[in-house]
Chains A and B, each alone.
Chain A
Amino acid sequence: MKVKVLSRNPDDYVRETKLDIQRVPRNYDPSLHPFEVPREYTRALNATKLERVFAKPFLASLDGHRDGVNCMAKHPKSLSTMLSGSCDGELKVWNLTKRECVRTLQAHEGFVRGMVVRFCGTSFFTVGDDKTIKQWKMETPGYGEEEEPLNTILGKSVFTSIDHHQKEGVFVTCGQQVDIWDEQRSSPIRSFSWGVDSFSCVRFNPVETELLASCASDRSIVLYDMREATPLKKVIMNMRSNTLCWNPMEAYNFTCSNEDYNLYTYDMRYLDKPFTVHMDHVSAVLDVDYSPTGKEFVSASFDKTIRIFPKDSGHSREVYHTKRMQHVISIKWSSDNKYILSASDEMNIRLWKANAAEKLGLVRQTVLFLSFTSSVRTSSNLQVPGIKSNVMKERWISEQCRMLTINR
């Protein structure tokens, strides 16, 4: 015999605390609540507007460099640590929570072109205009000790970019060719070159760790496999790509920032055409970095703005800019997906929220925020002052393309 017993979920009728409002059963009959669509629309609109009202993305500015900041590096193990290298060869290590520089060292003569922290976080590598690769300790040297690199490798030509393998003691540099180095050796274990040209950026795939991609100055993007003797594939675009970034959650997708104001997302298996073109910038895009969730990426442009794009959308969801920020050269998305760091021409590093309207605890500082309240119509209706109109952009691009065809 089965006895049927009334059973209810107490969550439906019991308050969590005494201070909560009593739960009142409601009648959800749609006929009692008319104008469903208009009401919902108004609510959505209000929510969007409020989001704009509360959008205060700018958190802090880190100043201290005496020249334009050329490159940055995230620490893989510590969220609060960040490295930046400037155009005068100076390197600074920052503590982001305190927003202060904890260490300064003269790394190179001339530009610091690239830097990367080893996967374990104990040391980092820098490359500069003085044709050297230097490995440094992460720890600050004790009192009386001199700032000296652990290793210095003198190359034949200028290195423009460096990246480290995700798990092994292998790193890659690029300059006139793409070199793969073992940490223990002073000469590259492998060199790739495909035609004579210089490379501007090289990146390891964070998922399929043996894969590499590089941007060459002959307007091409070249893919490599560390285990193979030859490069894998090359795609030549209309204009030069400055940097590229692999999607950390999707092994075969990468996005490159191009001189023609656009970003292109490629599937590395089908390189004949990009599967998304991200437009909105009105000047050359200089750097790109993916959010660690792989859902969005942020781009830095010569037009003095930062834009955040959803990875499969053609237009940006957000644009950050301030009056004082000049050409943004380098950009990084923090590895907890909450912050964005931008390094720009005018010697400053800026800290932004990744979600402009998100509340991130107590922030007590005179924050220079943007008011978007004047344009609250929709979230896509963001006003960006003092930049070239689209018409001008089109004209410029067509001009460039024409020049290219003439030169060819």
Chain B
Amino acid sequence: MCVKWTTVVPCCVFCLIQGGSDDERKHCKLLEAIKHCAPMTPSALIKTKKQLKNLQHNQSTLETPLTRKETERIQREVAFEKTSKEVSRWQSVVLQNQKAEQLVFPLNQEPSGPKRIEQVVAGWKAQTPLEQEIFSLLRMNKQPLHDPVLTPTEEASLRAMSLEEAKIRRAELQKARVLQSYYEAKAKRERKIKSKKYHRVQKKVMRKEYLKQFDEMVKTDPAAALEELKKMELSRMKERMSLKHQNSGKWAKSKAIMAKYDDGARKAMQKQLEVNKDLTLKLVIPADEDEEDEEESAETLPDFVNDAEHILDQVNPWMRGKLSTDPMVQEESNRLDPPVVRPRELGTPGEGRDDQEEDEEQMEETEEEALLRGFEERRKLQISDDNEEAVEISDDEEAVEISDDEAGLSKFTSLFHGLVNNHMEPPADQPKAGPGVGQGESPALLEEGLVRVRTLEDVELLSQDVSASDPAPLTTTQTPGTEETDTQSATQQADKKRKRKKMIDPNEVLTKEAKVIKMPLAPTAVEDVEGKEEQRVIIKEAFAGDDVISDFLKDKRKQEEAGRPKVIDLTLPGWGEWGGLGLQPSRSKRKRFRVKVAPPPPRQDQKLPNIIISEKRDSSIAAHQVCQLPFPFENPTQFERTIRSPVGRTWNTQNTVQKITAPKVVTQLGAIIEPIAREYLIKDNRQAVTGPSINLESDQGPQKKRRSQQKKKHKRKKN
């Protein structure tokens, strides 16, 4: 009894605590354990107790539900997101309507004009016996019932091809037919020509063409080429079997008689034999198809030996690679881009040498190419042709090259020097202006004279050059020792550069930013050559032609110049005195008629070196200007263009005026305008998929384009 009680209770408790399959399993285990030890052992009891305790420990409380306020907030957020997403579907429609040139309300107007019969008589039925009879007849013959124009077959054909397509197709067919007739007529005419020579030439041309095709085929379609080869083999067989070209014919016999006396006849006979030999020569199909194919073709068709040779040259990779670019062109291009190459050479002497070497190498290559070209030409003249020979020659070439190299180099250097001198000529003037600049280190002085302005601009130009070429000038001045070890030319260049450097100085002094910018450049010069090279290239690319500070100064000076009033000269030559060629009006007169304008009030940015304050704003004009870009326009130029174009009849045609001045919104008196319906959204989406989006940025006036698009849409609707 006692035992029974103990067994029942834990089970019940167990079930209460947890549910689920896992628990059931445990439950079964427990039951089994109990069954096995019917007289309850204390150990089993302890075990169950332990299990119970464990279970009780494992139980964790559920989280308390959120407060009503919080749940509502979450619900609200979710709902709002959902609806706002739903509403956002209208965005495209709204935008489209905003941008539309003209909106016609009510929106869902039915197209005017006659309706289709099927729409009108939707509910109509044939009632009288006559009508019924007619309709049954129509139905039997598969004639259209509602739409009186088109039968099913006609409709199908319409569906298959649009009118435009059909037109195009017809035009094509017409053209083809005409071409065919032309071709036929031509062939007929040619067939009637009796001249043997003509036909021979024709045949030759044909063969040539065929060969060319074959070459192409080898490259593009090897399988087809093989087929062709087989055909050739067949023709060879036929040739072997026939008596053609065997000098056994009537003609050959007559020639044989003549051969004793006539050189021409003899030659003709020999030629005939040669042809036979060529035609019957067995084709060898080697493993290396690519190159030999051409040779084979040359063998099979010996008429074109010369051409074959040409082909061989083409195939030769040695020739192929280099001759692609004309050396003359290359040189020209070299000559064309000296500002890129040359200044770099002027830069650091060490690097400059590297660069020079590179350039020399380039030149060498061009030299080689020139030589090769020469050889090729020579070889074309030669009758003998052999691959090995060619290789030998190319070997020779290199031997020759070395001697040629120097000559080429000297030529190159002289040319280069000439260019450099040309380039350096403006700096040669510099020493005259130099002192002036040296004195005018303060910006105030610099602003005065015309001459000085010019020199400063020059200086700026120079500085641009230098900054574009190399960041190294600082380093060169820092380490003059290294320079001396270099060649004379290098030192000369360095000297020139130093001169330049002096001229840059005032510019750098002008503003503080200049220093700030130049600072990071110094350490790059210390880095190892290759890294520096790379970096230099990168920096050069990034700041190609960028000299912000001098640009700014230039800009400011320009604006100041523009703002300064100019002296007005009102002298009329010949008025009140003698005038004529070479006669100047008298000085007093000139003085009298020269009107000096009072200087304007000082500029606002006079004492602010880093700022340009524009004084162009005119308050009287500003009243007519817009402060905000109107809606559909995306940039000011677009807007200005539209504003600038006149609207009136005086400047535009009637149609244009009507188009421009058309009202934005058209409504009908007495027509109720319903709020936009959901169907419109669906329609719009379908259009968005098929039609292009509105593009404002096209070169064409924005209005026109939109209008045309609208028209398209309108058409689509009608369809």
Contacts and interface: CB of A to CB of B under 8 A. Distances in A.
Contacts, number: 110
Interface in A249-265: 249-253
Interface string A361-397: 1000000000000000000000000000000000000
Interface string B87-123: 1101000100100000101000000000000000000
Contacts of A211: 83, 87
B667 A336 contact: yes
A219 interface: no
Given A250-B90, A292-B675, A230 B670 contact: no
Interface stretch (B373-381, B522-530, B647-655, B701-709): B647-655
Given A39-B650, A43-B648, A249-B97, A230 B105 contact: no
B669 A336 contact: yes
A196 to B, nearest CB: 14
A166 B88 CA distance: 20
Contact of B673 (A43, A268, A292): A292
B243 interface: no
Contacts of B509: none
A250 B75 contact: no
B90 A79 contact: no
A292 to B, nearest CB: 4
A166 B677 CA distance: 10
B396 to A, nearest CB: 63
Contacts of A337: 105, 665, 667, 673
A290 to B, nearest CB: 9
Contacts of B105: 292-293, 337
B631 A252 contact: no
Contacts of B237: none
A280 B612 CA distance: 39
Given A252-B87, A293-B103, A295-B665, A231 B673 contact: no
Contact of A28 (B72, B83, B653, B671): B653
Contacts of A30: 646, 651
B87 A336 contact: no
Contacts of B677: 207
Contacts of A252: 84, 87-88, 90, 94
Interface string A69-104: 000000011010000000000000000000000000
B154 interface: no
B79 interface: yes
B668 interface: yes
B631 A249 contact: no
Contacts of A338: 667, 669
B8 to A, nearest CB: 49
B676 interface: yes
A403 interface: no
A207 B83 CA distance: 13
Contacts of A76: 672
Given A33-B651, A40-B648, A338-B667, A230 B72 contact: yes
Interface in A222-281: 223, 225, 228-233, 248-253, 268-269
B80 interface: yes
Given A33-B650, A268-B84, A228 B675 contact: no
A147 interface: no
Chain A's interface size range is: 35 or more
Given A207-B675, A293-B103, A293-B105, A336 B648 contact: no
Contacts of B653: 28
B402 to A, nearest CB: 66
Contact of A233 (B72, B76, B646): B76
Contact of B90 (A40, A232, A251, A312): A251
A206 B675 contact: yes
Interface string B243-264: 0000000000000000000000
A62 to B, nearest CB: 19
Contact of B87 (A208, A249, A294, A335): A208
Given A40-B646, A211-B83, A230 B76 contact: yes
Contacts of A166: 675
A208 B673 contact: no
A54 B144 CA distance: 58
Contact of A232 (B79, B647, B652, B667): B79
B389 interface: no
A250 B83 contact: no
Interface in B671-713: 671-678
Given A292-B105, A293-B673, A335-B673, A28 B90 contact: no
B615 interface: no
A360 interface: yes
What is the predominant secondary structure among interface residues of chain B facing chain A?
Answer: loop
A249 B97 CA distance: 9
Contacts of B75: 228-230
B86 interface: yes
B84 A335 contact: no
B79 A336 contact: no
Nearest to A23: B654
A104 to B, nearest CB: 26
A36 interface: yes
B86 A248 contact: no
Q: For the side of the interface on B, what is the size category?
A: 35 or more
A361 B80 CA distance: 48
B677 to A, nearest CB: 8
A398 to B, nearest CB: 26
A293 B631 contact: no
Nearest to B84: A269
Given A207-B676, A336-B671, A228 B79 contact: yes
B669 A249 contact: no
Interface string A29-70: 010010010011001000000000000000000000000000
B675 A268 contact: no
Given A230-B72, A293-B103, A337-B105, A208 B669 contact: no
A283 to B, nearest CB: 28
B657 to A, nearest CB: 11
A248 B675 contact: yes
Contacts of B676: 207, 248-249, 251, 294
Contact of B651 (A28, A248, A312): A28
Given A228-B79, A252-B88, A360 B669 contact: yes
A166 B674 CA distance: 10
A387 B216 CA distance: 93
A358 B631 CA distance: 26
A293 B647 contact: no
Given A335-B672, A336-B670, A360-B669, A225 B646 contact: no
Given A28-B652, A36-B646, A36-B651, A250 B94 contact: yes
A43 B649 CA distance: 11
A356 B79 CA distance: 44
Contact of B83 (A40, A79, A225): A225
A166 B676 CA distance: 11
A336 B76 contact: no
Contacts of A223: 80, 83
Contacts of B646: 30, 36, 40
Nearest to B671: A336
Interface of A: 28, 30, 33, 36, 39-40, 43, 76-77, 79, 166, 206-208, 211, 223, 225, 228-233, 248-253, 268-269, 292-295, 312, 335-338, 360-361
Nearest 9 Cβ contacts at the A-B interface: A206-B675, A292-B673, A248-B675, A269-B84, A251-B90, A337-B667, A228-B79, A232-B80, A252-B87
Given A208-B87, A293-B673, A338-B669, 18 more contacts: A36-B646, A36-B651, A77-B672, A79-B672, A208-B83, A225-B79, A232-B79, A249-B94, A251-B94, A251-B676, A252-B84, A292-B672, A292-B675, A293-B103, A293-B667, A336-B667, A336-B669, A336-B670
14 contacts: A28-B652, A207-B675, A207-B678, A208-B90, A223-B80, A232-B83, A250-B97, A252-B84, A252-B90, A292-B673, A294-B676, A295-B664, A336-B672, A337-B105
